[in-house]
Chains A and B, each alone.
Chain A
């Protein structure tokens, strides 16, 4: 179900559930309180009537305490003798509802109060006209025992609800049982109305709460939908888009800022990748053009064997150039991906450097450039072949970009645990704006050297190799006074 995966709907659901629980708890408590209050009121009314009847029945014969309530004292005229009381053997007393109490048992009252008085032996002494037929005296104590039986006064009091009636059954010390009851139908009706009202109010509150909560949640989640809309556009390819960070204070604003900076870095990386691909394609275009024009020209008509040879040679040169480029690209890709496996063996760096110098000596001689070196044996741990590639590259550059009969100074020294190699030429130097970019891929400080077969990847590869050895490479130059490349590698102890 998609709807349950939406934060908005989940929030709404929880919110609604909590609201329902709170409202239900509140409603139930209110209902209970109201119900208790109503029963208390009814019971008070009933007790008032019980008291009145007991009073009317007269005091127990034993009781001489004038301070005792008078209602237990039977009227003197109804007393056959003044002998010692015996509850079981007491004569049946007559009971007439005193006129002042008639209003309390008005049959027209909506509560329809009634009474039944029984003698201790179970005979009915009196009953109000509206009293229901009671088959048995309910002896259960299920009802709310609101009154504790009081010694010397009340033998026992039972409060019970039977059907739509509520009764209080009071047993007098002498044994008479007074039952006073009323119908609670009007109260129940009021209860039902209360339940209805509470439910209605609860529903309205729930509705308002859900609507308000929904509005609030939508408002809060609005930045998220704007973030996701922007992210969607970016994922569709428009990397230049950014999330509008209106409120930087909130958590969402911070998230948007973080996302924006991520997008910016992505865009840069993407642009670099694109530039790299475009440059690589560009570098491949020229040799392919050579092969195409050479072969198409050769095939245009019958040729001499020598012409074909020339064509094949030109194609070979072009293919070699492409091979070199592809190797460079692959090497860079491997270094980028961390897949290049470097040997980690200690070797004498000065020996490697002099080997390289020997290798480029013919080129130097051709240009009339002198290689001056100042080295002492120095152990370095790493891949000697790869580092030799770096040194050869730097030396070749230093010779090629030198002035005729210039000088290349090579110096290897140990500086605070580092092997420092300096290769300095006496060429015309590199302009400051180019200097910072010489290690960039396909970057050529001298843009005229397009036809030399150099793609501008040499120094990038040097940097990748040196970096993979945990070292640094940097270039320094002052226009007119040559260029110096400095490599620092951790020396092995």
Chain B
């Protein structure tokens, strides 16, 4: 899962990015509105955390422009907590709204919910054959036994599971699993896929030659 954070307060941006990375997300950051909009338009993020008060374009403007091209789930961060601000945010196309100061746990939960909803899932539990994925606890069970996965492997499984039945291209996987700072060595993805197959069964991820991967 790849997330963009647009926030102008450097200390807040740094700790948010670190916390989300530690949650297993690939995180891109932008410290002003113009960079934020550029990133948001150029990459298919799974979710965007967007501050309202920004240098350059403000959060409302970014949202308005982004909505012309993309339906990426957006979580607005703001210091304004009056009802009209919330209404404005939701009406402009924000998917959720968090008022500063917030707890990290709340941001995590809201992001999970946003991503789940955008994949048209209603619960945190995904079941694929004998594999069960709890997206809230970030646990994977195979034949009812917990399976140890690295953060990157878990992200791969979760992303594929949320797009079950679709063919996911390698580019897509790179976009959603790695952030802009990681060098996307082409064989790194193959290593992750083969590790997941070892742990969850060889048929769990099917390779579509020339297209990508798929969970059926």
Contacts and interface: CB of A to CB of B under 8 A. Distances in A.
B51 to A, nearest CB: 9
Nearest to B14: A314
A318 B18 CA distance: 18
B108 to A, nearest CB: 10
B166 interface: no
Contacts, number: 78
B104 interface: yes
B206 to A, nearest CB: 35
Contact of B100 (A288, A314, A451): A288
Interface string A284-295: 011011111110
Given A282-B80, A450-B55, A451-B10, 7 more contacts: A278-B82, A281-B79, A285-B79, A285-B99, A291-B101, A292-B103, A314-B11
Contacts of B22: 297, 300-301
B12 A297 contact: no
Given A448-B56, A451-B10, A294 B15 contact: yes
A293 B15 contact: yes
A377 to B, nearest CB: 42
Contacts of B149: none
Contact of B12 (A283, A289, A300): A289
A98 B54 CA distance: 133
A447 interface: yes
B55 A290 contact: no
**Chain B residues touching A, range:** 20 to 34
A351 B190 CA distance: 72
B8 A451 contact: yes
Given A285-B79, A451-B55, A296 B104 contact: yes
6 contacts: A278-B82, A281-B79, A285-B101, A289-B12, A447-B53, A451-B31
Interface string A226-243: 000000000000000000
A278 B84 CA distance: 14
A286 B55 contact: no
A293 B8 contact: no
A317 interface: yes
B89 to A, nearest CB: 15
Contact of A294 (B11, B54, B56): B11
Residue with the highest number of chain A CB atoms closer than 10 Å, among B8, B12, B55: B12
B79 A290 contact: no
A76 to B, nearest CB: 127
Residue with the highest number of chain B CB atoms closer than 10 Å, among A311, A449, A451: A451
Contact of A300 (B19, B31, B54, B58): B19
Residue with the highest number of chain A CB atoms closer than 10 Å, among B11, B31, B101: B11
Contacts of A292: 101-104
B127 interface: no
A447 B101 contact: no
A414 B98 CA distance: 54
Interface in A58-107: none
Interface string B9-47: 111101110110010000000011100000000000000
A285 to B, nearest CB: 4
Interface string B105-120: 1000000000000000
Interface in A359-398: none
A449 B58 CA distance: 11
Given A282-B80, A286-B12, A289-B102, A296 B55 contact: no
A317 B11 contact: yes
A286 B104 CA distance: 14
Contacts of A298: 15
Given A300-B22, A301-B22, A450 B53 contact: yes
Contacts of B19: 293, 296-297, 300
A450 B8 contact: yes
A303 to B, nearest CB: 10
Interface string A434-466: 000000000000011111000000000000000
Nearest to A278: B82
B75 to A, nearest CB: 14
B33 to A, nearest CB: 8
Contacts of B79: 281-283, 285-286, 289
A301 B22 CA distance: 9
A297 B15 contact: yes
> Lowest 6 CB-CB distances: which A-B pairs, in order?
A448-B55, A451-B8, A285-B79, A314-B11, A289-B101, A297-B19
Contacts of B8: 450-451
Contact of A286 (B14, B100, B105): B100
A285 B102 CA distance: 9
Nearest to A449: B55
Interface string B172-195: 000000000000000000000000
Nearest to B21: A297
Nearest to B99: A285
Contacts of A285: 79, 99-101
B73 to A, nearest CB: 20
Nearest to A283: B79
A257 B71 CA distance: 55
B55 A293 contact: no
Interface string B53-72: 11110100000000000000
B102 A318 contact: no
